[in-house]
Chains A and B, each alone.
Chain A
């Protein structure tokens, strides 16, 4: 059988019964001509020669635009597709300036070490061809101590990550005097990655960087690149706290691409379970590779990478005995050498198929692949486009397939091609003035340079924060300056990426005298997964938790063999403290503001394996957790709900289902992990909450008074709140997108093929009840605008 070309393969796909019916959208993205511009006059002839030798005879229009703005000292954010030559937009001005003024320094920030290394090699290559004495280094946790001094003094271009800037560079800025005194450019690539908690921290790191630069008398130009999101300019301006020019019209030519959104068939209508995304991924990838169409498959976890790689290798072992080396897995954890081999194999086309985690999403040069299959939505539309961009660079048709899994985000995306292809709904949000985050960075900043009276840092009242810290004994004010006066190194106290760096260690005590640590659980999950008497599972072994010691941050367990697992029952209740904004829709009051959230694990259920039978209950006595954060919520008065003719429990189930759905949609809008947000149904006073009892759901008072069932006085409210103390800036956006949230929910639930609710729409029936789906649709009909 002669191998099919990609176009032929696609033609066959269109008629192939196996696939056709499951494609929710097949979109041809047409080729686009390039728009070009000549090199500006001022580009150094050597630099131009080096670039021309690499085949860059002229610039793309967006590159020329960026160069001009940067030349004028303007800060820019460049938002153009993958492979549109973004790196040139910063490498050229940086090298140009170093050629003009050899003492010039530039700082490059990448979110990962792998990207930093890759970019370092690219700059290195340019410099080698230039044949001049420009030094570029990566500086991160792996940099050997003896190399560090040379890098600090001599590195013209220092490539690092925000964490290192925060904890390793800024607190030692005097060692970097040369860099900071001559810092002309700060390059921030993958700007969209810095959102939520990470972005809120980074804004503060930039505030600190700004102070240090002012101290040394430099004022660098920021050159940022971002994937496509709904608000790139706003986001860049929020992160940098200065005006930023947006460049988003790509002049790069683009080859045509077919983009398929694929929803695997429903295999269990009752439970709304679809076929696993891995199955069609495997079938399509095998088919493509057999036709010698070079393919990359993205899987969502390391485990899935291994599973899919094995499947594909097995397929070829059966059919193409000599083709074993054609397929490779690729993920973090592979040795660098092996990774380099695979990358090279891809460039040389000796490897025709690679299965990867998002490790290959960004940057790394693997040549021009023809097809990309995403087995599962990568978590954001921006990432999806970046992964799809790994197939097809400049010429020739390419293919991208997104295969949805059974969860609301995946389902929403494949069922709403319009959002996906035309306007990204994704917003990057930061809240750098979150008090906890701000406080950390005020401390770090004071460590770096004493604050002076009248100085500003963030939008809060700095003097008040400084006074607070003085009272805590970490700052000391004298002659109008606030000095760090503690022994500690504040930058080590906070991680930029995680909400709470503290963990609970799980200790297996099965063998006396040979206790060993078997796992770590983050602080917040510890309450629900390793409470006393819980069954904790690692690698399908069961452990009984004998004692959770919160003070020592340890959970002591021993191995058991039982036929049940435990599921913690928590209650969450939310009380409104302050309303920042209110609007009235037809039958609903929509608000956002500050709330108090109290969460408590009250007990657990023992659930029998396979049958899901409830075989017992137990109490848990753990401290309740309380925090204040920001929330978006809406309230539906009872007298409207009464008109639906539903029982009280059905209403509550419907609201619970709706909240489940809105929670997922909200996470998508703000590009957050599902755990960065949380939801609750209650009333605004925080007195009532939904209790999931043995068999039914009731609205009751706080748990001590669980007998008292809710009276009519209560108007149910759905809260979607930031799961980070102080809030991270999501709520205001959700408030402003209320209509979109509701219409998206109506469409997601309405189009779901399940019968009574499933994890793809309102949540599992066992949790939300058999009437949740209908009830939530009725409620949406009442308050939503379909």
Chain B
């Protein structure tokens, strides 16, 4: 008896196996459940159906490109060149090519990228047979991008079958190691893990995943996250880069497209996936330019979203570039957006405070209180300044009591803190006034009324 028959017998799926028994509902219910489990997260079946009648297209017809052969075998490669005058969303390809290594290094928090220039960068994005991770996930398409002259080149390495992976990886390794660093979107958590795994599985030395790496996801979250619903590349394209995708294949459908290709060898199954991947790679270049531009805006007069400028200021401050950060905070401090304006001023005031420029800091705190008499932060800072630097307890008390009595809503613990501060100031002021009274006859040592 065959494996299938025995399996069907165990699981109770006897349809057709025993002519003497009628098929009753419920027979094969376990089998059905097994099938359900197998097809879970699948979605492949219905994705293929409409394509059945379509005439078969060869890969070359569907995506162009050619077979490449190297010491480890063959795979398929598609190259697209975007000239300097080509447009990608708001940007021209030619504009993207001026890559600044220092800014990239700042974005990546990775010093080794510092001395790099446009020609040293390799953009990378993979398409895989699954999103779950683990050794059974196969990156069947590796999209690579680099600048050459003023143009942007995208080369897509495609394993037409599992057996072409080795040759593809070797090619990837050659290309990558001729560059100095990698740029990805979410590559640190996903693509590099996966590629590292594939090198091990193919018993190849991995010189790729250890390269310096700028993962654009993290700086994108920091600089743009404040105005995006999520930090997906597609969202950033739409809301920041001005890229509009039409007929884009949804990411969760990509695995089933490749599995359909494996079965049917119809180029039409994967042509959308190539297009999707190509756009991802170009968008990364555009995104890098945009993020770099934000960091560089201390030195340019570009019109930029002030929230982005503020976020860029924070990033520069955290990387120790205080002067550039101040420039950006100053720009954002006049923003029409109240939140941005306040955050920028607060940040600026703290830089002043830390560097001992008390007068400048106090001016900002006063301005903050002018704008919002309920600004607890500004009130406390100003009070501290008055108390410890100016030693004017009465003015400090005035600042605190004004904010307490401004009549706004306040969290109980905030109010408690303020009241505590006020009380302390009052005691101090009282003691000081007694000191003042006592001073002339201090030697007599009597205590006041």
Report how far A725 CA is from B33 CA in the complex, Å: 13
CB within 8 Å for A627 and B262 given contacts A447-B135, A483-B162, A489-B132: no
CB within 8 Å for A473 and B33 given contacts A171-B135, A623-B25, A629-B10: no
A340 at the interface (CB under 8 A from B): no
User: Are A446's CB and B136's CB within 8 A?
Assistant: yes
Say what secondary structure dominates the interface of chain A.
Answer: mixed
User: Are B3's CB and A627's CB within 8 A?
Assistant: no
Q: Which of A174, A439, A468, A492 contacts B135 (CB 8 A)?
A: A174
Within 8 A of B (CB), among A455-501: 460-461, 464-465, 467-468, 472-474, 476, 478-479, 481, 483-493
A605 at the interface (CB under 8 A from B): no
Cβ–Cβ < 8 Å partners of B27 in chain A: 623-624, 626
A448 at the interface (CB under 8 A from B): yes
Q: Which of B6, B7, B33, B136 contacts A171 (CB 8 A)?
A: B136
A517 at the interface (CB under 8 A from B): no
> Count of A residues near B, CB < 8 Å?
51
A628 at the interface (CB under 8 A from B): yes
B263 to chain A, nearest CB (A): 8
User: Are A476's CB and B162's CB within 8 A?
Assistant: yes
A177 at the interface (CB under 8 A from B): yes
Within 8 A of A (CB), among B12-58: 12, 14, 24-30, 33-34, 37-38, 40-44
The residue of chain B having its C-beta at the shortest distance from the C-beta of A494 within the complex is B37
User: Are A468's CB and B10's CB within 8 A?
Assistant: no
User: Are B10's CB and A726's CB within 8 A?
Assistant: yes
Report how far A155 CA is from B132 CA in the complex, Å: 25
The residue of chain B having its C-beta at the shortest distance from the C-beta of A625 within the complex is B29
Cβ–Cβ < 8 Å partners of A725 in chain B: 10-12, 30
B293 at the interface (CB under 8 A from A): no
Report how far A173 CA is from B200 CA in the complex, Å: 10
B230 at the interface (CB under 8 A from A): no
A281 to chain B, nearest CB (A): 42
B383 to chain A, nearest CB (A): 40
CB within 8 Å for A487 and B7 given contacts A171-B135, A173-B135: no
B444 at the interface (CB under 8 A from A): no
User: Are B135's CB and A435's CB within 8 A?
Assistant: no
Q: Which of B3, B10, B40 contacts A488 (CB 8 A)?
A: B40
B255 at the interface (CB under 8 A from A): yes
The residue of chain B having its C-beta at the shortest distance from the C-beta of A466 within the complex is B3
User: Are B130's CB and A489's CB within 8 A?
Assistant: yes
A172 at the interface (CB under 8 A from B): yes
CB within 8 Å for A487 and B4 given contacts A172-B134, A623-B29: no
Cβ–Cβ < 8 Å partners of A476 in chain B: 161-162, 259, 262
Q: Which of A435, A436, A460, A484 contacts B136 (CB 8 A)?
A: A484
The proximity string for B residues 222-257 relative to A, scoring 1 for CB distances below 8 Å and 0 otherwise, is 000000000000000000000000000000000110
Report how far A718 CA is from B259 CA in the complex, Å: 50
A449 at the interface (CB under 8 A from B): yes
Report how far A461 CA is from B4 CA in the complex, Å: 12
B129 at the interface (CB under 8 A from A): yes
Report how far A725 CA is from B43 CA in the complex, Å: 28
Report how far A485 CA is from B255 CA in the complex, Å: 9
Cβ–Cβ < 8 Å partners of B28 in chain A: 626
User: Are B132's CB and A487's CB within 8 A?
Assistant: yes
User: Are A436's CB and B26's CB within 8 A?
Assistant: no
B301 at the interface (CB under 8 A from A): no
B434 at the interface (CB under 8 A from A): no
User: Are B40's CB and A468's CB within 8 A?
Assistant: no
CB within 8 Å for A487 and B130 given contacts A502-B33, A725-B11: yes
CB within 8 Å for A478 and B10 given contacts A173-B135, A174-B197, A625-B26: no
The residue of chain A having its C-beta at the shortest distance from the C-beta of B3 within the complex is A464
User: Are B12's CB and A483's CB within 8 A?
Assistant: no
User: Are B12's CB and A626's CB within 8 A?
Assistant: yes
User: Are B161's CB and A627's CB within 8 A?
Assistant: no
Cβ–Cβ < 8 Å partners of A577 in chain B: 9
Cβ–Cβ < 8 Å partners of A174 in chain B: 135, 196-197, 200-201
B250 to chain A, nearest CB (A): 13
The proximity string for B residues 180-218 relative to A, scoring 1 for CB distances below 8 Å and 0 otherwise, is 000000000000010011001100000000000000000
The proximity string for B residues 51-93 relative to A, scoring 1 for CB distances below 8 Å and 0 otherwise, is 0000000000000000000000000000000000000000000
User: Are A487's CB and B131's CB within 8 A?
Assistant: yes
Cβ–Cβ < 8 Å partners of A450 in chain B: 162
B177 at the interface (CB under 8 A from A): no
Report how far A492 CA is from B38 CA in the complex, Å: 11
User: Are A486's CB and B259's CB within 8 A?
Assistant: yes
Report how far A491 CA is from B40 CA in the complex, Å: 13
CB within 8 Å for A627 and B200 given contacts A449-B135, A464-B2, A487-B42: no
Cβ–Cβ < 8 Å partners of B129 in chain A: 484-487
CB within 8 Å for A483 and B138 given contacts A625-B12, A625-B26: yes
Report how far A446 CA is from B133 CA in the complex, Å: 14
Report how far A465 CA is from B5 CA in the complex, Å: 11
Report how far A517 CA is from B133 CA in the complex, Å: 32
Within 8 A of B (CB), among A490-537: 490-493, 502
User: Are B162's CB and A448's CB within 8 A?
Assistant: no
Cβ–Cβ < 8 Å partners of A627 in chain B: 10-12, 30
Cβ–Cβ < 8 Å partners of A483 in chain B: 138, 162
User: Are B135's CB and A465's CB within 8 A?
Assistant: no
User: Are B255's CB and A436's CB within 8 A?
Assistant: no
B111 at the interface (CB under 8 A from A): no
The proximity string for B residues 154-171 relative to A, scoring 1 for CB distances below 8 Å and 0 otherwise, is 000000011100000000
A450, A486, A487, A490: which has the most chain B beta carbons within 10 Å? A487
Within 8 A of A (CB), among B384-420: none
A467, A468, A626: which has the most chain B beta carbons within 10 Å? A626
User: Are A479's CB and B10's CB within 8 A?
Assistant: no
Cβ–Cβ < 8 Å partners of B163 in chain A: 478-479, 481
User: Are A488's CB and B132's CB within 8 A?
Assistant: yes
Cβ–Cβ < 8 Å partners of B197 in chain A: 174-175
Cβ–Cβ < 8 Å partners of B193 in chain A: 175
Cβ–Cβ < 8 Å partners of A486 in chain B: 38, 42, 44, 129-130, 259
User: Are B136's CB and A447's CB within 8 A?
Assistant: yes
Cβ–Cβ < 8 Å partners of B42 in chain A: 486-488
Cβ–Cβ < 8 Å partners of B9 in chain A: 577, 596, 628
A528 to chain B, nearest CB (A): 15
Cβ–Cβ < 8 Å partners of A626 in chain B: 12, 14, 26-30
A383 to chain B, nearest CB (A): 31
Within 8 A of B (CB), among A416-447: 435-436, 439, 446-447
Report how far A474 CA is from B41 CA in the complex, Å: 12
CB within 8 Å for A172 and B6 given contacts A436-B11, A486-B42: no
B300 to chain A, nearest CB (A): 38
Report how far A481 CA is from B164 CA in the complex, Å: 12
User: Are B162's CB and A488's CB within 8 A?
Assistant: no
Cβ–Cβ < 8 Å partners of A473 in chain B: 44, 259, 263
Report how far A487 CA is from B10 CA in the complex, Å: 26
A444 to chain B, nearest CB (A): 9
Q: Chain B residues in contact with chain A, CB under 8 A?
A: 2-4, 6-7, 9-12, 14, 24-30, 33-34, 37-38, 40-44, 129-136, 138, 161-163, 193, 196-197, 200-201, 255-256, 259, 262-263
Given contacts A436-B7, A489-B136, 20 further A-B contacts (CB under 8 A): A171-B135, A172-B133, A174-B200, A175-B197, A435-B3, A446-B136, A447-B134, A448-B135, A468-B7, A476-B162, A476-B262, A478-B161, A487-B130, A489-B132, A489-B134, A622-B26, A623-B27, A626-B26, A628-B11, A726-B10
Q: Chain A residues in contact with chain B, CB under 8 A?
A: 171-175, 177, 435-436, 439, 446-450, 460-461, 464-465, 467-468, 472-474, 476, 478-479, 481, 483-493, 502, 577, 596, 622-629, 725-726
Interchain Cβ contacts under 8 Å between A and B, 22 examples: A174-B196, A175-B197, A177-B200, A446-B136, A447-B134, A464-B2, A476-B162, A476-B259, A478-B161, A481-B163, A486-B42, A487-B256, A488-B41, A489-B132, A491-B134, A623-B24, A624-B27, A627-B11, A628-B9, A628-B11, A725-B10, A725-B11
